[in-house]
Chain A
């Protein structure tokens, strides 16, 4: 490979650039939470947590946690001015009712028709779904941040998900370690790729055809690890 894929931090940075000023945003637990570290200068973003918080801020210093104030990932958070607290059903009313502008989630697989699989691999072991199946409905747009392939090199952008689905036709944009891909009319449409990878190589790491619709921009991010 004569290219260097983006780090998770860089993927998160790129996803953060698309969040509009004043947006209400839910970030999935784990990797997607990193998006909150890179809000573009001057943009006000309000983060939603499933357990009933709007407007939470950074983690408190270690030792100063208040465990009655945690996010959906059960990490201690703080409140920004203008925050509000509500119960779980009101919280999911915000989600399901279409009040969030953006949800950014992780993925095992994303299909070219927008299907998302991110809650379990196969049918053995202990299943756990959390809020993922709710979050794919209702947000103005549902984006995914993910490595472009699995650890053993298999495509995560696929023709059709083989893992159990989280939602049908819900994802509209995928930020990967190699590219930014939109989902339109049942196709992957390549918008950006890292400069060093060839189209052929990128296609070979992608499980369904990458369509073009206008220029493919260079995907360039700051150095972030």
Chain B
């Protein structure tokens, strides 16, 4: 099965970001595929490395990047959400960490191409 994952919460606002990452890892290790991750609303902060520089708390940005590269799926950052939150050129910021900006048409195409859509 192809699973599309939406992440809507910031790395510090809840534990759901880590749960989404673990979920994606389990999808892959169980023999299914992730066809992309869409970072929406406060989820766009996952594209900003070093966001959670707190002792004992994992930096999810590089973990997402690592998984996406090894499994060849895209990390899509919602363009509208990012532009509302990041001053200046959010595309540059996203690029740096292996994420890319996406519009809602692209989002809906990934939803349609997946067998399941799940949101964290």
Asked whether A and B interact, the reply is no
